[in-house]
Amino acid sequence: RSYEGDKIFAVAYRVKNNKTKRSDLLTSEDIIRLGSRTFMDAVKTIPGVNMRQGTLAIRGVNSFNSSTEPLFILDGSETSLAALESLDIYTIESIQVNKTGFGYGVKGANGVIMVKTKKK
């Protein structure tokens, strides 16, 4: 059996995007606008960052060891979550989350949370 009728054309469009989003950035302006009062308040607003077992974890990151804690960097140097929690929120210039940990080797396998403070 065959049918004759109107011809149907299918057209598809694709937007080419070669950029892979590897990090999320929160600026001091964002922190103020969101009403964050602490580092933890601010960092938890970044998509994919969650509290897990008393520390921060980045969703979608597979751990090579038993820890899911990301690497913490403050003004270019490795630091602890406790040090970041003690920061005055108004001294933070930006918080950046690198979900892939690219460029940090095994230490960055669980992602990297980088904090930059304002210079006086």
Q: Where are the domains of the chain?
A: 23-117
Task: Assess whether pLDDT exceeds 70 at residue 21.
Answer: no
pTM: 0.75
Give me the pLDDT at residue 17, please: 45
Give me the pLDDT at residue 100, please: 86
**Per-residue pLDDT tens digits for 55-81:** 888 876 555 556 788 999 999 999 999
Window from 9-13, 42-46, 53-57, 76-80 with minimum mean pLDDT? 9-13
With respect to CATH, is domain 23-117 assigned 3.40.50.300?
A: no
Give me the pLDDT at residue 51, please: 82
- Which residues contact residue 97 at a Cβ distance below 8 angstroms, ignoring those fewer than 6 apart? 23, 24, 43, 46, 48, 49, 58, 70, 111, 112, 113, 114
Give me the pLDDT at residue 50, please: 87
3-state helix, strand, coil in the chain (%, to 5): 20, 30, 50
